[in-house]
């Protein structure tokens, strides 16, 4: 289980090559690496912004792209109204700007790899970013491990990577998707119109062809705690549950 | 490299000499944990001191609470880049734990072990002489579960992953043995003032 990812992650300057509006509050930033690296699905980078007087601000962002696309990485950043770094990306950053980052970082919240039992993925909002890297990796690598994703969002428009996920639900074998909308009714029969709870997690896990061998949960701390309690009540051991908490 | 268009939320205050490089201030207390938040009933809680594999002494919750109390108000620094000033803690200094076990300086290094299987390594020099404690209270209240209650290690001068939550023992080791995050790409020592975030920083 121990991944000793000990290579030195140096700071590098990356050009923004594309910006895509994903939801009303989330944009994707495609960054062209000057020093190519190969990340593992689930890892993040640290981004550093520097003001003219030398003041800088650093934040972590998960990599949304699959490891197979190694020259350009995708970050999906949610705009927090009073934040320092995320509004900069949304309101000021433009294609052609350069951004400093280092990575890939984090050796725990990782795709479990092939030959494992079914995998249960649970996220809220921008928490789906590292899980998207895993789903894209599963597709690109042809890894046959079954995956179910439970994704909570406020409204249908807020579902990050929605169209791609809907397409994968149709085309990727053994991939189940359940969207949970918290602020409007869901229209698809397989989705939910409420906040996450133990019943919902059990329902989504039951869409897997066998009991999950592990669960990866990402989102705000409050969301992760509720989701993890639900996964524990499925009978998974604590050691089989990995969490990424964005902090607040 | 200056980032075009970025000015930032510069505090520019007299506090800036308390904020290590690459860190920013927060007023809240973010929670970052690699797995589920354990539930530990104080009635089932024990703290074990080991030298190598050998247990030297173990304390129950009530025995541990009868040890001398220490208070510390310190600035804390998380590797994810937030810093929080003037956090107030109360608990049992590592010096007093060692003294109660009749030990002074067993070995130069230690590993803190935790209920969730987490571990982290800290040199004895960073634990002793009043530098660290097992914290039981935060801001005058029992330490909340999400922040490591019933008890967490507090080594405030190192990045906060060294302040292991849900701690249940200290193991003294001859060599500096990497713990959970130290095996997963994070720095073996973790000094925020030297920005020792990741391996080889
Ligand atoms: C491993 C990891 C991976 C992550 N991946 C992603 C990702 O893929 N996508 C993503 O969007 N985010 C991700 N995050 C979160 C990200 O790192 C930032 O925390 C987030 O973008 C907010 O940063 P910010 O500078 O915009 O807000 P901050 O300035 O950090 O503020 C956060 C919130 O606190 C409030 N606040 C805090 N301090 C102050 C203050 N002094 N004054 C005013 N308001 C304050 C603000 O209102 C704001 O809403 C990740 C975090 C981690 C740890």
CB neighbour class for A13 (10 Å; exposed up to 12, middle 13-18, buried from 19) = middle
Residues of chain B with pLDDT under 70: 11-14
What domains are there in chain B, each with its CATH number?
Answer: 44-75+85-194 (3.90.420.10)
Instruction: DSSP for B12-56, please give it.
Output: -SGGGGGS-TT-EE-SS--B--SS------GGG-EEEEEETTEEE
Peptide bond into B150 cis (omega under 30): yes
List of chain B residues whose C-beta atoms are within 8 Å of the C-beta of residue A96: none
For the domain spanning A119-245, the CATH number is: 3.40.50.80
Q: Examine the pLDDT at A2 and tell me if it is beyond 70.
A: no
Q: Examine the pLDDT at A86 and tell me if it is beyond 80.
A: yes
Of A3, A55, A99, the CB nearest to B184: A3
Of B3, B31, B184, the CB nearest to A5: B184
Average pLDDT over residues A89-101: 98
* Between residues A97 and B1, the one the model is more confident about: A97
Ligand 1 atom nearest the C-alpha of A105 is 1
Give the predicted TM-score (pTM) of the model: 0.92
The confidence score (pLDDT) of residue B138 equals 98
Domains of chain A, by residue range, sit at 2-105, 119-245
Q: How many CB pairs under 8 A join A and B?
A: 121
List of chain B residues whose C-beta atoms are within 8 Å of the C-beta of residue A46: 81, 197
The residues, ordered by sequence, that sit 6+ positions from A230 with a Cβ below 8 Å of its Cβ are A196, A197, A198, A200, A201, A202
Atom 48 (ligand 1) nearest CA: A83
Q: Which of A33, A194, A37, A218 is nearest to A128 (CA)?
A: A218
Task: State which residue of chain B sits closest to A221, comparing Cα positions.
Answer: B31
The confidence score (pLDDT) of residue A6 equals 46
Q: Which tens digit of pLDDT belongs to each residue from A42-72? A: 999 999 999 999 989 999 999 999 998 779 9
Please check whether residue A111 is in contact with residue A134, taking contact to mean a CB–CB distance below 8 angstroms: yes
CATH for A2-105, among 2.40.30.10, 3.90.550.10, 3.40.50.620, 3.40.50.300?
2.40.30.10
The confidence score (pLDDT) of residue A11 equals 95
Q: Examine the pLDDT at A115 and tell me if it is beyond 70.
A: no
The confidence score (pLDDT) of residue B15 equals 77
Ligand 1 atom nearest the C-alpha of A87 is 26
E strand segments, A79-220: 98-105, 119-124, 147-153, 175-181, 214-219
List of chain A residues whose C-beta atoms are within 8 Å of the C-beta of residue B23: 58
Q: Over pLDDT 90: what percentage of chain A? A: 90
């Amino acid at each position: 289980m121990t991944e000793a990812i000990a290579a030195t992650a140096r700071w590098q300057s990356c050009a923004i090559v594309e910006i895509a509006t994903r939801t009303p509050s989330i944009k994707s930033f495609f960054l062209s690496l000057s020093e190519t690296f190969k990340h593992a699905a689930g890892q993040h980078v640290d981004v550093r912004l520097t003001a003219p007087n030398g003041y800088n601000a650093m934040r972590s962002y998960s990599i949304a792209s699959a490891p197979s696309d190694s020259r350009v990485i995708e970050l999906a950043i949610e705009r927090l109204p009073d934040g320092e770094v995320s509004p900069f990306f949304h309101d000021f950053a433009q294609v052609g700007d350069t951004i400093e980052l280092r990575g890939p970082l984090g050796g725990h919240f990782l795709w479990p790899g092939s030959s494992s039992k079914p995998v249960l993925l649970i996220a809220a909002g921008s928490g789906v970013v590292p899980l998207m890297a895993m789903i894209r990796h599963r597709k690109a690598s042809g890894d046959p491990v079954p995956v179910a994703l439970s994704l909570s969002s406020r409204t249908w428009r807020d579902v990050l990577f929605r169209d791609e996920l809907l397409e994968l639900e149709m085309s990727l074998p053994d991939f189940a998707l359940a969207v949970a909308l918290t602020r409007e009714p869901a229209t698809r029969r397989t989705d939910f119109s409420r906040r996450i709870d133990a019943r919902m997690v059990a329902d989504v896990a039951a869409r897997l062809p066998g009991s999950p061998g592990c669960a990866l949960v990402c989102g705000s701390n409050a969301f992760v705690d509720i989701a993890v309690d639900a996964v524990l009540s499925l009978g998974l051991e604590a050691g089989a549950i990995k969490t990424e908490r964005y902090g607040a | 490299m200056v980032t075009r268009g970025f000015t930032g939320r510069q505090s520019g205050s007299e506090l800036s000499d308390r904020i290590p490089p690459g860190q920013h201030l927060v007023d809240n207390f973010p929670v970052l944990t690699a797995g589920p938040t354990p539930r530990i009933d104080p009635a089932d809680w024990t703290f074990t001191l080991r030298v190598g594999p050998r247990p030297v002494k173990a304390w129950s919750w009530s025995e541990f609470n009868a040890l001398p109390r220490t208070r510390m108000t310190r600035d804390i620094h998380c590797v994810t880049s937030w810093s929080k000033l003037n956090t107030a803690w109360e608990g049992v200094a590592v010096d007093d734990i060692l003294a109660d076990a009749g030990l002074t300086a067993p070995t130069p290094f230690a590993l803190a072990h935790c209920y969730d299987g987490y571990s982290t390594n800290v040199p004895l020099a960073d634990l002793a002489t009043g530098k660290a404690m097992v914290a039981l209270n935060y801001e005058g209240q029992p330490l909340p579960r999400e922040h490591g209650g019933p008890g967490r290690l507090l080594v405030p001068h190192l990045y906060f992953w060294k302040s292991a939550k849900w701690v249940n023992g200290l193991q003294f080791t001859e060599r500096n043995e990497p713990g959970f995050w130290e095996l997963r790409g994070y720095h073996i020592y973790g000094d925020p003032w030297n920005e020792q975030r990741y391996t080889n920083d």
